[in-house]
Amino acid sequence: MPSPIHVLNAIGGTWQEAESGQRMDNVGPKDGTVVATLPRSDGKDVEAAVIAAEAAQPAWGALPITDRADMLDRIADVMEANADALAELEALDTGKPWEVARHVDIDRCIRNFRFFAELGRTRPEQTFAMDDAMNYVLRKPVGVVGLISPWNLPLYLLTWKVAPALLMGNAIVAKPSEITPLTAHRFSELADEAGLPAGLLNVLHGLGPEVGQPIVEHPRITAISFTGGTATGRIVAATAAPMFKKLSLELGGKNATVILEDADLDTVVPGVVRAGFLNSGQICLCGSRVLIHASLYDAFLPRFVEAVEAFGIGPVISADHRDKVEGYLALALEEGGQILTGGTRGEGTGFHLTPAVIAGLSPDSRCATEEIFGPVVTVHTFQTEEEALAITNGTEYGLAGSVWTSDAERGRRFAAQMDTGMVWVNTWLHRDLRVPFGGVKHSGVGREGGEWSLGFFSEAVNICVADKA
């Protein structure tokens, strides 16, 4: 692997510099060195990508869906053959351990393609019979779609959009986070190697305001699928809504992990540690607020702290992000909290922070209601289910959460009252790709997953045919 890696834009089946010729650095979080340089693209590159996408889309959209599903499988095959090397790039770019990159990120990227390929082959045609007519629902491609993705699960979240977008016959202009461009770049080469026709997958690198914003603004990109922070999502929505674009927004979260008084701590402790700290707490679904019944607090806390200290994590993504997380740790002390463990810089020049547990904060403090998106969990107690629900639902976010109890029926009842798009009972991040994925309130608009993704990346057209001509 050359060092630093030279990342290029993929436009129309060729790999190019930004038209401006400008490049920028990409710093690795493990030791703070420059691991790659990338094109600093702008609106001119977006225009070139849209022209390439428009040239490629009609032929692709006209193929039977089963042919497109076969291509998804070929892409999965090539990714599988290159899985270890892809994991190496993801680990280099994000700082996560190679095993996590390989078995959480890259395995899931491959599954994204296999899953949507299978769905494309097996989903029945939708028809609605009337006494005197038959309705046929066609699923037409949207056309050219814009995909914008974040740095925490770089290729995992990008392929979660690419696979259904291609399956439904669209051409893509994608922008990965400028902090983590490596796997998106390599993936554009692998898709080409798999035989994906040129121009269907255009990948542009660079900064959000300089290349993401022109994608959202482009009049001939008619759907935007965005995953990222709530503040950026607000800008994307404000830009796209007056143009009547299809819009999918997967945004931030401040997810509660609720431990009811009948929960079994042997199951709870490892589950809650994983929910809080997997990927250094940098997953939108992470349970960053632990709400525990007061009767269990004394038994839970020392076991939780011990397990957190034993849980190995990688660095956070960047120096800026580490500063942001440290800012919240300082705020926690100002707000009256106690840091029971963690929150200190690790050794070396990378962006390491030890996993932190904070107790003693009011559930409506800023640290307990704002998204920190790092290795920090706050712990709160409650006496009644009503109180637990009020705390759970007391933030502007509504992405996900989990409930832990020895009575699964009780867990389901509690879960149904949570104002979130997803809830796990006695587990966390247990994913079936067929189910709806997304948030309510400020955590997003729309759903991804299975049929929901296919619905977003297509236009449903109804044709009603009368029985008598």
> Any idea which residues carry the catalytic annotation?
250, 284
Does residue 90 belong to the site contacting ligand NDP (CB under 6 A)?
Answer: no
Stretch that binds ligand NDP, among 208-216, 258-266, 293-301, 353-361 (CB under 6 A): 208-216
For ligand NDP, the closer CB: 41 or 458: 41
Using the minimum distance from each CB to ligand NDP, give the nearer residue, 227 or 458: 227
Nearer to ligand NDP (CB atom), residue 94 or residue 426: 94
Hey, which residues does 36 pair with through a beta bridge? Answer: 5, 26
Residue from 229, 270, 360, 436 in contact with ligand NDP (CB under 6 A): 229
Q: Which of 57, 170, 202, 213 binds ligand NDP (CB under 6 A)?
A: 213
| Binders of ligand NDP in range 414-443 (CB under 6 A) | 439
- State the DSSP code for 395: S
The closest alpha carbon to 288, from 228, 336, 356, 337, belongs to 356
Question: Which of these ranges, 62-70, 232-240, 330-338, 388-396, lies near ligand NDP under the rule CB under 6 A?
Answer: 232-240
As measured in angstroms, the least distance from the Cβ of 215 to ligand NDP is 7
Distance from chain centroid for Cα 145: 17
Choice between 183 and 227, CB closer to ligand NDP:
227
Contact 86, 76 (CB under 8 A): no
228 binds ligand NDP (CB under 6 A): yes
**Sheet containing 133-141: order of strands:** 127-129, 133-141, 458-466
Q: How far apart are CA 329 and CA 256, in angstroms?
A: 19
Interaction of residue 207 with ligand NDP, rule CB under 6 A: yes
Least Cβ distance, residue 401 to ligand NDP (angstroms): 13
Q: Answer for the pair 127, 137: CB distance below 8 angstroms, yes or no.
A: yes
Give the one residue of 38, 179, 194, 325 binding ligand NDP; rule: CB under 6 A.
179
- Kindly state the number of chain residues that form the binding site for ligand NDP, as judged by CB under 6 A: 32
Helix (H) or strand (E) holding 140: strand 133-141
Query: Which member of 42, 105, 178, 326 binds ligand NDP (CB under 6 A)?
Result: 178
Q: Does 284 bind ligand NDP (CB under 6 A)?
A: yes
In whole angstroms, give the CA distance from residue 465 to residue 144: 30
Site of tokens 């690795």 = 28
Give the interface segment with ligand NDP, choosing from 104-112, 250-258, 342-350, 410-418 (CB under 6 A).
250-258
* DSSP string over 88-120: HHHHHHH---HHHIIIIIIHHHHHHHHHHHHHH
The dihedral of CA 397, 398, 403, 407: what is its sign?
positive
Q: Establish how many alpha carbons lie within 13 A of residue 170's alpha carbon, considering only the half-sphere containing its beta carbon.
A: 33
Residues 6+ apart with CB under 8 A from 326: 343, 353
248 binds ligand NDP (CB under 6 A): no
Q: Which residue, 293 or 322, has its beta carbon nearer to ligand NDP?
A: 322
151 binds ligand NDP (CB under 6 A): yes
d(CA 44, CA 97): 37
Neighbours of 249 (CB within 10 A): 23
For residue 444, state whether it binds ligand NDP (rule: CB under 6 A).
Answer: yes
Applying CB under 6 A, which residues contact ligand NDP?
148-152, 157, 175, 177-179, 207-209, 212-213, 216, 227-229, 232, 235-236, 250-253, 284, 371, 373, 399, 439, 444
